[in-house]
Amino acid sequence: MLIGGGALVALAALGFLVAASGVISTKASTGHWRITEWFLQFSKQRSVSTYSLGLEVPPLDDGSLILKGALHYEFGCRSCHGAPGAPPSRVANTMLPPPPDLGAAVPKSNPKRLFHIVKHGVKFTGMPAFPSQKRDDEVWAVVAFLMKLPGLTETGYQNLVASEPRTAEAGQLPAGDTFASLNRSCQQCHGTDGLGRGEQIPSLAGQRPHYLANALAAYVLGRRHSGIMQPVAASLDETTIRRLVAHYAQLPASPRAPVRTVDPAILEKGRRIAHHGIRERRVPACVECHDPSGRRSNPAYPSLTGQSAAYLVGQLELFTANRRGGSSYEHLMQPIAARLDPDEMQAVARYFESRETASSALENP
Ligand code: HEC
Ligand code: HEC
Ligand code: HEC
């Protein structure tokens, strides 16, 4: 033993006395001592390496995943880290350590390390943990975007995060309205037509208002998990929620154009599940609950018609892993999703995506 028990106690007491005397500066304005700086950086590098070892990196090249990550970056990260063509705020720059320029930091990192930092944040710095710890898919979306960030120009970034009107008049509201300005943030992700930008962001257009209001309430209460939607929903009051929900519910739920061409055999398989369920595994017909004319329909249950297949599959996977959460009706859906295999999820999701209305010819069994 190098140091005896007594010496250790004496050393700890000395450390305490130094701290108690107040000479150790906690001022952010003066920076760290070089040794403290080195030690904090070293501990962080080692900790991130150790904890990110066992991670498996999913495919990150999907355009709609990158778009979802970029949109979250715009709302949740840009104020501190800046973006191509937009420096971070001056307040952010007085933090110790200041938020690094990620365009320069990312090439020195890798997806696993980025995932670990974005999910868990960095202790003793201003770098926050991801708002929901329940699911990893959203964190990977942010990582997918970060991997593209170093090569992105100002115009490239703006093209990702600016809301794109898909139809000229849909969703237009009088200028100067405070509701309109709030709604503009929703539109940045859900589109001015409410159909959802990219395949990862859900369509709200024509959705049942009761379901939309319950979904927002579930995010606020932390009953439904999304690091992207929870902070957004938390900023809304009840009157605004009512107005937003009414607005989206009356937009036309036309299917996203262009709906890709899908193998007819897959659509037929999806149609059978949607209308007949899978008897041997006690999977009920989806339309029983999800179509307004369904036997067990309820205004609080969502319509799936015209919703993006990628979003639907994502939600089914979350239900299966018990990580979606939801309204007080969520328990009805969880066990049904858990009985579907991945091919069945794909097929039924493609079927609902391709459907134009709940009463179209495709619907007849
Ligand atoms: C409140 C300010 C703040 C916000 C918001 C914030 N960060 Fe950070 N971030 C920081 C600070 C400060 C550091 C430096 C930590 C350090 O030096 O260890 C940091 C570090 C990082 C790093 C590590 C970079 C490196 O040097 O390896 C990544 C990656 C990162 N942030 C990504 C994000 C992403 C993505 C978001 C949004 C989801 C985000 N940050 C939101 C302040 C912030
Ligand atoms: C940064 C992007 C972003 C912004 C801004 C945003 N949303 Fe969302 N929204 C999403 C994503 C992504 C989801 C899917 C989250 C999930 O997996 O639970 C979602 C889900 C929803 C849902 C649930 C839909 C369903 O089918 O279950 C509602 C309702 C909703 N958003 C309403 C709004 C409203 C209203 C606003 C504006 C106040 C808004 N969103 C702003 C990205 C966004
Ligand atoms: C017994 C009624 C019932 C049946 C049958 C049912 N669901 Fe659901 N489903 C629900 C409810 C209720 C919700 C909404 C939970 C919430 O409010 O959070 C839901 C939500 C969903 C969602 C998420 C939608 C969104 O916008 O986030 C998907 C996807 C889904 N169901 C797919 C299916 C599929 C596929 C089938 C058929 C295999 C099916 N459901 C059968 C009741 C049902």
Query: What pLDDT is attached to residue 114?
Result: 96
Q: How far, in Å, from the CA of 153 to the mean position of ligand 3?
A: 41
User: What pLDDT tens digit does each residue of the chain (365 aa) get?
Assistant: 455 677 777 777 776 776 777 766 666 677 777 887 777 777 777 877 787 778 899 999 999 999 999 999 999 999 999 999 888 777 787 887 889 999 999 999 999 999 999 999 988 888 999 999 999 999 999 999 999 999 999 999 999 998 765 444 444 556 567 788 889 999 999 999 999 999 999 999 999 999 999 999 999 999 999 999 999 999 999 999 999 999 999 999 876 655 678 899 999 999 999 999 999 999 999 999 999 999 999 999 999 999 999 999 999 999 999 999 999 999 999 999 999 999 999 999 999 999 887 654 344 44
Q: How far, in Å, from the CA of 280 to the mean position of ligand 1?
A: 50
The verdict on the CB of residue 355 being under 6 Å from ligand 2 is: no
Query: What pLDDT is attached to residue 363?
Result: 44
What's the Cα-to-Cα distance from 336 to each of 30, 285, 347, 359, rounded to whole Å?
58, 10, 15, 23
Query: What pLDDT is attached to residue 254?
Result: 75
Contact present, 344 and 352 (Cβ < 8 Å): no
Residues with CB under 6 A from ligand 1: 44, 73, 76-77, 80-81, 92, 95, 97, 99-100, 102, 105, 109, 114, 117-118, 122, 125-128, 142
Q: How does 48-72 read in b/e, with b if 16+ C-beta sit within 10 Å?
A: beebbeeeeeeebebebbbbbbbbb
Residue ID of nearest Cα to ligand 1 atom 39: 77
Query: What pLDDT is attached to residue 22?
Result: 73
Query: What pLDDT is attached to residue 170?
Result: 46
Query: What pLDDT is attached to residue 168?
Result: 45
Q: How far, in Å, from the CA of 45 to the mean position of ligand 2?
A: 34
Contact present, 300 and 212 (Cβ < 8 Å): no
Question: CB burial class (10 A; 0-12, 13-18, 19+) of residue 201?
Answer: buried
Ligand found nearest the CA of 125:
1
Can you say whether residue 176 is alpha, beta or left, with left for phi > 0 and alpha for psi between -120 and 50 degrees?
A: left
What's the Cα-to-Cα distance from 171 to each of 75, 164, 231, rounded to whole Å?
21, 12, 23
Q: Which residue has the tokens 């929900």?
A: 245
Query: What pLDDT is attached to residue 119?
Result: 96
The verdict on the CB of residue 336 being under 6 Å from ligand 3 is: yes
Sign of CA dihedral 259, 265, 266, 270: positive
What is the distance in angstroms between the CA of the first residue and the CA of the last residue of the chain? 80
Contact present, 267 and 347 (Cβ < 8 Å): yes
Of 31, 166, 141, the closest CA to residue 77 belongs to 141
Residues 6+ apart with CB under 8 A from 360: none
Of 193, 327, 182, the closest CA to residue 243 belongs to 182
Residue ID of nearest Cα to ligand 1 atom 37: 77
Query: What pLDDT is attached to residue 194?
Result: 94
What's the Cα-to-Cα distance from 98 to each of 93, 125, 130, rounded to whole Å?
5, 9, 19
Query: What pLDDT is attached to residue 236?
Result: 92
